[in-house]
Amino acid sequence: MNRLQNAVTVAGVPMSEALTHDVMGNIASLNRDNTGIKTYNYYNLGNSNKLESVSGLTIQDYEYDANGNAKKDGLSGVSLTYNYLNLPATALIRDNFGTNNYTGYNGNKLTSISGFTNSNYA
């Protein structure tokens, strides 16, 4: 099915990956550098391409809108909204530095508002 199952580097920093896939072609599990197997869980009992969570990695479930756009990622608490063209309109990002709110028009980043600064982009 032409899906990557194993990968190993031979030069530079040694890395390895072992992957399995489900019948939909989604990654079912991943073991990177023998750090432990991460199991990928998809909505509708795996009969979907919408990622729900990753065991041992995500802190919350991924969420999607009616058009299939990701509303929340499972890793960092990013909340996304989209315009009528399904392009990103806002991204609310919470991290160790506070909360950042990026607002865009037609996918372009225009402003960044955080607890520390307000930056405008052309």
Q: Are residue 97 and residue 118 in the same domain, yes or no?
A: yes
More confident position, 101 or 49: 49
Task: Report residue 47's pLDDT band, with 50, 70 and 90 as the boundaries.
Answer: confident
Q: Minimal CA–CA distance to 56: which of 42, 41, 77, 44? A: 41
Q: Are residue 28 and residue 87 in the same domain, yes or no?
A: no
Q: Are residue 33 and residue 69 in the same domain, yes or no?
A: no
Q: Are residue 51 and residue 90 in the same domain, yes or no?
A: no
Task: Tell me what the pLDDT averaged over the chain comes to.
Answer: 79
Q: Are residue 30 and residue 44 in the same domain, yes or no?
A: yes
Convert the pLDDT of each residue in 87-99 to its tens digit: 777 777 766 555 5
Q: Are residue 67 and residue 53 in the same domain, yes or no?
A: no
Neighbouring C-alpha atoms within 13 Å toward the C-beta of 30: 14
Residue 117 bridge partners (DSSP): none
52: pLDDT strictly greater than 50: yes
Convert the pLDDT of each residue in 62-118 to its tens digit: 999 999 998 988 777 778 888 888 877 777 776 655 556 666 655 555 565 555 544
Q: Minimal CA–CA distance to 33: which of 65, 62, 6? A: 6
